[in-house]
Chain A
Amino acid sequence: MMALPFVVLVLAALVAMLGFRKTSVIVWAVAMAATLYVLWIHTTVPLKIVL
């Protein structure tokens, strides 16, 4: 699961270098959505501070 956003992000970079600008930005958005999901599932430990 953790590797998925990396793979998608590499795809976005590759697509950019091959000349597909808009596709790259769309793939980047998918990668960032996957990144947010990964960040969400890994923020399980409660913080020990009280704001």
Chain B
Amino acid sequence: MAAIAKALNILAVLAITGVLLFAFYWQLARGELPCPLCLVQRLGLIGAGLGFVLNVRFGSSESHYGVVIVSALIGGAAATRQILLHIVPDTGSYGSALYGWHFYTWALVAFVAIAALAGLLLFIEAQFVEGTHDLRPTMAAQAVGWLFVAVALASAVSTLLECGFGACPDDPTAYELLRK
């Protein structure tokens, strides 16, 4: 069961990395800059991913799942706030839709799924028993972890270019640090 938990942790890191990469693709290919609330949702995703990375790197711990759940709650709060901003008909929306839902709606679904996954994984008690499994990170775990760090770093650079050193505009149209 501990091996299943480890595999699911690695898959969770890969899934979150994939979501962040897809958001990047949308930002760069479609030219849709993320709004401040969208960026908070990315922060929630990276925070949740970090919790899974900690499990992959050091072995499973209840506190690592705490990192996942708290991050998902914060990201989910930002997504809920954004949904409520646009829930009344004729109050507009932000960004384009994917399969009928906007990205902040998908983000809320993702955060609920992440928190639920962390909650379910907490039931696998075998992963917390010391000495029953190898805690050394495998090459695959190291690779997944470093890939996650690279994508998180790219998100940080992108946000710095978009917002500069101050607060981000509510409806960003250009990268602040690239303006002439």
The prevalent SS among residues of B at the interface is helix
Which residues of chain B from 27 to 62 have a CB within 8 Å of any chain A CB? 36-37, 39-40, 42-44, 46-47, 49-50, 53-54, 57-58
Inter-subunit contact A32/B74 (CB<8 Å):
yes
- Partner of A38 from the list B40, B142, B160, B165 (CB cut-off 8 Å) is B40
B98 close to A (CB within 8 Å): no
Q: Known contacts A16-B145, A32-B74; decide if A25 and B167 are in contact (CB<8 Å).
A: no
A49 to B83, CA, bound (A): 11
Inter-subunit contact B47/A35 (CB<8 Å):
yes
- How many residues of chain B get a CB closer than 8 Å to chain A's CBs? 48
- How many residues of chain A get a CB closer than 8 Å to chain B's CBs? 31
Inter-subunit contact B40/A39 (CB<8 Å):
yes
* Residues of the B chain whose Cβ atoms lie less than 8 Å from the Cβ of A6: 39, 42-43, 46, 152, 155-156, 159-160
- Partner of B156 from the list A3, A42, A48 (CB cut-off 8 Å) is A3
Inter-subunit contact A45/B168 (CB<8 Å):
no
A39 to B33, CA, bound (A): 18
The stretch of B63-71, B100-108, B116-124, B125-133 in contact with A is B63-71
Measuring CB to CB, which residues of chain B are less than 8 angstroms from any residue of chain A?
36-37, 39-40, 42-44, 46-47, 49-50, 53-54, 57-58, 63-64, 67, 70-71, 74, 77-78, 81, 84-85, 87-88, 91, 142, 145-146, 148-149, 152-153, 155-156, 159-160, 162-168, 170
Question: 15 additional contacts, CB 8 Å, given A1-B163, A6-B152, A13-B145?
Answer: A2-B36, A2-B159, A3-B160, A10-B152, A13-B53, A13-B152, A16-B57, A17-B53, A28-B71, A31-B43, A32-B47, A32-B70, A32-B71, A45-B85, A47-B84
